[in-house]
């Protein structure tokens, strides 16, 4: 137990410091992860910060509201800098609410955002255990073991250390699965988050058995019960998101060609129609090939909206087969009879083995974004929640300079 | 992972969790803290007998039935000296209801002379006790000053605050709860 850290004249509360440090580290990882996933790191981080500050403010105000006489006596107590007069529960409630409202207003997508926050959950949990260790809270049952710690006049299970070791293990798993934040590790948004929370639930369920203070509800420890319910909930979510036979997924495919493009686009559409159900198609857009020595070549592009039950890896394989059936030579970037890119895969957000969904090119290429806007004007970016209008506004100016050469009538001909 | 493999694995995990949870109250029953003594929330406050500067003996357990604040301080401790004035008005208001403050001076880290001189100059009305052997400092696991220990009428520690977190407002809030319900926040 080490409640205070002495730094010369300053005595710092170790628990608070450790918790803040852990959350800071968690936010660092979250930020890095957001960059690689393509989710809106700034909004996510800011949301947490606003929530934290609002929480502290609400905790103070909440306390004074329940004890108005204290406020009447000394109105300045509202800005008192001492870590006292705080209604912690109210503060947490308000903080979480502020985070939710901030995310909601920015239309952040639920599962990709939670995936992005998963390292913060692990680190905050670890920080909480460290804080307990520092203050001697959540201490263990008396036990004479070679690794017992002497605390509160007895040798005890070092419960907080059990939890810390397991949490570090979970963090190492997380870092390995995401290859140090470079990828999601799963092909469905939300699974990384659910597995993380399930892991924390298991750690709690297991270590809480060795805690000295237990509050029973229906004969079982309340905290263990909550952990078990959380575990069950997440196992169910994992099943729903990733295991259950997928319903049809809506995929937007960008089709392009710079060799006899009109023919190839037409034939390409036919091949796609033979394998998948086509929901909608855009008109045909022309872009110049701006590469050195190729200015005489034009690309024609369009976007097809299809439905499929294939998994993402299987879908990519199928698209490659179709490309090669139309004469595409792998490695030949000059002459492209047919190019098929999956821009989106349902609402999923992931980045595995070098492939990122949604396709990052949507944010940079007019030939991807503009036809997409035509087929799906109500589109919101699965990773950031941005609308079509917001995405187009962010395009580099010369990317908008694209000619549409064929209108599409009722979305079925072109 | 296929549905066929996932469902049995998930069910097994849940079953193991359920069994562990059901066995816990039997194999690892919780321990009521109030039975043993320690300077931590939930434990019985360690008893002590110390002398006032006038030589009068004061024993903590004499105050059972009343809420007590044991305040560990020293005359060189700036935060202590910033906190003490805020406690005086609260003491005056709640003493009639039985509230007691025992300002235990850590005399091993201080001198009796400076402590007494400071206390008398400030004119606090609650008792000051001297801890020349460090008995209370050790029993109460004093890591830093001030350390405030809030003890309920049943003699059980309800809250320990290290540092600046104990002020008049916090104390009033606790006393209001304790005097109504016997249990503070």
For A209-238, write each residue's pLDDT tens digit. 999 989 888 889 999 999 999 999 999 999
pLDDT top residue among A83 and A216 = A216
Q: Examine the pLDDT at B180 and tell me if it is beyond 90.
A: no
Mean pLDDT across the stretch A271-299? 80
Is A209 within 8 Å of B20 when comparing Cβ atoms? Answer: yes
Least confident piece of the model among A79-83, A265-269, B34-38, B80-84: A79-83
CA gap A165, A157 in Å, rounded: 14
- For B175, the closest chain A residue by CA position comes to A67
- Within 8 A of A245 by CB-CB distance, chain B residues are 3
Q: Could you tell me if B4 lies within 8 Å of chain A, comparing CB atoms?
A: no
Residue B31 phi/psi, 5-degree rounding, is -120, 130
What pLDDT, on a 0 to 100 scale, did the predictor assign at position A8?
62
Per-residue pLDDT at B10: 94
A135-144, A316-325, A398-407, B145-154: least confidently modelled range: A398-407
Q: Does the pLDDT value for residue A412 go beyond 60?
A: no
Q: Using DSSP, state whether A214 is helix, strand or coil.
A: coil
Query: Which of B3, B31, B173 lies closest to A244 in CB terms?
Result: B3
Record: contact B31-A70, CB cut-off 8 A = no
pLDDT higher than 80, residue B11: yes
Mapped onto helix, strand or coil, the DSSP state of residue A377 is coil
- CA–CA separation, B81 vs B74, rounded Å? 8
Closest Cα to residue B102, out of B138, B168, B49, B180?
B49
| Residues of chain A found within 8 Å of residue B7, distances taken between Cβ atoms | 239
At residue A93 the predicted structure's pLDDT band, cuts being 50, 70 and 90, is very high
Judging contacts by C-beta atoms under 8 Å, the chain B residues touching residue A230 are none
Q: Look up residue A27 and give its two tokens.
A: 């936010």
Q: Among A79-93, A183-197, A222-236, A308-322, which is the least confidently predicted range? A: A79-93
pLDDT of A66: 87
| pLDDT over threshold 90, residue B56 | yes
The least confident of A54-68, A398-412, B155-169 is A398-412
Tell me which H or E stretch contains A88: helix A88-105
Q: How confident is the model at residue A410 (pLDDT cuts 50, 70, 90)?
A: very low
Chain B nearest C-alpha distance from A80 (Å): 10
CB A341 within 8 Å of CB A361 = yes
CA distance B42 to chain A (A): 9
pLDDT computed for residue A294 by the predictor? 63
Q: Which of A263-272, A291-300, B124-133 has the lowest mean pLDDT?
A: A291-300
Q: Using an 8 Å CB-CB cutoff, list chain B residues near A206.
A: 20
- Reported as type and span, the H/E element at residue A15 is helix A14-37
Residue of A82, A88, A140, A155 to mutate when probing chain B, most B C-beta within 10 A: A82
Looking at the partner chain, which of A2, A202, A214 has a beta carbon nearest the beta carbon of B30? A214
In A, which residues are within 8 Å of B85 by CB distance? none
A208:B24 CB<8 A: yes
- The contacts of residue B5 (CB under 8 Å, 6+ apart) are none
Interface test mutation site (partner B, options A153, A157, A236, A237, max chain B beta carbons within 10 A): A153
Q: State phi, psi for A288 to the nearest 5 degrees.
A: -80, 150
Q: How far is Cα A222 from Cα A216, in angstroms, rounded to an integer?
A: 6
* Burial class (CB within 10 angstroms; exposed 0-12, middle 13-18, buried 19+) of B70: buried
Neighbour tally for B158: CB within 10 Å = 21
| Segment B110-148, tens digit of pLDDT | 889 999 999 989 989 999 999 999 999 999 988 888 999
Query: Is residue A50 helix, strand or coil?
Result: helix
Q: What span, in angstroms and rounded, lies between the C-alpha atoms of A188 and A196?
A: 14
Q: Do A224 and B24 touch (CB under 8 A)?
A: yes
3-state helix, strand, coil in chain B (%, to 5): 45, 20, 35
The vertex-B57 CA angle with B51 and B62, nearest 5°, equals 125
Q: pLDDT of A354-404, one tens digit each?
A: 788 999 988 888 889 999 999 999 999 999 999 999 999 988 887 777 777
The whole-number pLDDT of residue A69 equals 81
Chain A nearest-CA distance from B14, in A, is 7
CA dihedral sign, ordered B13, B16, B21, B24: negative
Please tell me the distance from the alpha carbon of residue A116 to that of residue A29, in angstroms, as a whole number: 9
Asked whether the predicted pLDDT for residue B185 surpasses 70, the reply is: no
Residue A13 corresponds to which tokens in the numbers above? 């509360």
pLDDT reading at A290 higher than 80: no
In angstroms, the separation between the Cα of residue B179 and the nearest Cα of chain A is 14
pLDDT score recorded for residue A408: 53
Q: Tell me the C-alpha distance between B135 and B49, whole Å.
A: 9
pLDDT of the residue at A11: 67
Distances from the Cα of A301 to the Cα of A185, A268, A329, angstroms: 31, 11, 19
Report d(CA B150, CA A247) in Å as an integer. Answer: 60
In B, minimum Cα distance to A7 occurs at B144
Query: How does DSSP classify residue B35?
Result: G
Q: How far is A7 from chain B (nearest CA, A)?
A: 12
Distance to chain A for B124, nearest Cα, Å:
20
Does pLDDT of A208 surpass 90? yes
Confidence of residue A413 (pLDDT cuts 50, 70, 90): very low
Cβ proximity of A402 and A366 under 8 Å:
yes
A142-194: pLDDT as tens digits: 999 999 999 998 999 999 999 999 999 999 999 999 999 999 888 889 999 99
Q: Which residues of A touch B3 (CB under 8 A)?
A: 239, 243-245
Give per-residue pLDDT as tens, A37-62: 989 999 999 999 999 999 999 999 99
Average pLDDT of the segment spanning A339-350: 91
CA distance A39 to chain B (A): 26
Find the mean pLDDT for residues A227-252: 90
| Long-range contacts from B165-168, C-beta under 8 angstroms, 24+ separation | B165/A82, B165/A83, B165/A84, B166/A84, B166/B69, B166/B71, B166/B83, B166/B87, B167/A77, B167/A80, B167/A82, B167/A84, B167/A85, B167/B83, B167/B86, B168/A70, B168/A73, B168/A74, B168/B86, B168/B87, B168/B89, B168/B90
All residues of chain A having their beta carbon less than 8 Å from the beta carbon of residue B143 are 2-4
Task: Note which residues in 108-137 of chain B have CB less than 8 A from chain A.
Answer: none
Q: Do A243 and B1 touch (CB under 8 A)?
A: yes
Assess whether pLDDT exceeds 60 at residue B85.
Answer: yes
| Mean predicted confidence (pLDDT) in B62-84 | 93
């Amino acid at each position: 137990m080490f409640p205070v850290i002495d730094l010369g004249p300053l005595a710092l509360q170790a628990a608070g410091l450790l918790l803040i440090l852990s959350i800071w580290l968690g936010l660092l990882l979250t930020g890095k992860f957001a960059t690689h996933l393509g989710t809106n790191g700034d909004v996510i981080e800011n949301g947490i910060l606003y929530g934290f500050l609002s929480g502290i403010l609400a905790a103070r105000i909440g306390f004074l509201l329940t004890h108005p006489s204290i406020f009447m006596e000394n109105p300045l107590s509202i800005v008192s800098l001492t870590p006292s007069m705080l209604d912690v529960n109210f503060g947490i409630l308000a903080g979480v609410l502020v985070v939710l409202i901030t995310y909601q207003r920015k239309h952040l997508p639920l599962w990709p955002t939670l995936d992005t926050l998963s390292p913060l959950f692990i680190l905050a949990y670890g920080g909480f255990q460290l804080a307990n260790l520092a203050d001697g809270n959540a201490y263990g049952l008396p036990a004479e073991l070679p690794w017992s710690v002497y605390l509160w006049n007895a040798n005890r299970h070092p419960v907080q250390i059990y939890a810390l070791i397991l949490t570090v293990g979970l963090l190492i798993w997380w870092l390995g699965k995401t290859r140090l934040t470079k990828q999601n590790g799963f092909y469905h948004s939300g699974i990384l988050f659910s597995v993380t929370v399930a892991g924390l639930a298991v750690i709690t369920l297991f270590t809480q058995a060795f805690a000295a203070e237990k509050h029973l509800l229906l004969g079982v420890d309340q905290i263990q019960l909550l952990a078990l319910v959380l575990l069950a909930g997440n196992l169910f979510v994992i099943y729903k998101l990733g295991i259950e036979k997928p319903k049809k997924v809506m995929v937007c495919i960008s089709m392009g060609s710079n060799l006899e493009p009109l023919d190839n686009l037409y034939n390409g559409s036919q091949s796609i129609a033979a394998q998948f159900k086509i929901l909608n198609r855009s008109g045909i857009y022309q872009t110049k090939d701006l590469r050195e020595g190729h200015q005489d070549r034009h690309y024609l592009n369009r976007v097809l909206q299809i439905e499929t039950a294939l998994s993402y890896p299987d879908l990519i394989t199928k698209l490659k087969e179709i490309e090669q059936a139309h004469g595409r030579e792998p490695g030949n970037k000059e002459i492209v009879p047919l190019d098929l890119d999956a821009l989106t895969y349902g609402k999923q957000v992931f980045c595995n083995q070098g492939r990122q969904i949604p396709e990052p090119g949507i944010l940079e290429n007019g030939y991807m974004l503009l036809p997409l806007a035509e087929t799906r004007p109500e589109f919101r970016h699965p990773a950031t929640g941005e609308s079509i209008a917001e995405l187009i506004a962010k395009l580099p100016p010369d990317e908008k300079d694209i000619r549409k050469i064929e209108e599409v009538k009722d979305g079925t001909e072109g | 992972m296929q549905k066929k493999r996932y469902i049995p694995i998930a069910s097994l995990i849940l079953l193991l969790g359920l069994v562990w949870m059901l066995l816990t109250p039997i194999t690892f029953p919780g321990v009521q803290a109030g039975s043993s003594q320690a300077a931590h929330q939930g434990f019985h406050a360690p008893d002590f007998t110390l002398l006032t500067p006038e030589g009068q003996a004061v024993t903590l357990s004499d105050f059972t039935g009343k809420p007590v604040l044991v305040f560990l301080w020293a005359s060189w401790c700036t935060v202590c000296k910033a906190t003490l004035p805020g406690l005086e008005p609260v003491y005056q208001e709640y003493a009639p209801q039985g509230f007691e403050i025992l300002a235990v001076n850590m005399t091993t880290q201080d001198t009796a002379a400076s402590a007494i001189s400071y206390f008398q100059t400030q004119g606090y009305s609650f008792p000051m006790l001297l801890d020349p052997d460090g008995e209370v400092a050790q029993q109460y696991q004093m890591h830093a000053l001030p350390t405030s220990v809030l003890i309920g009428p049943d003699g059980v520690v309800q809250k320990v605050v290290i540092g600046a977190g104990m002020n008049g407002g916090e104390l009033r809030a606790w006393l209001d709860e304790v005097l109504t319900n016997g249990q503070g926040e």
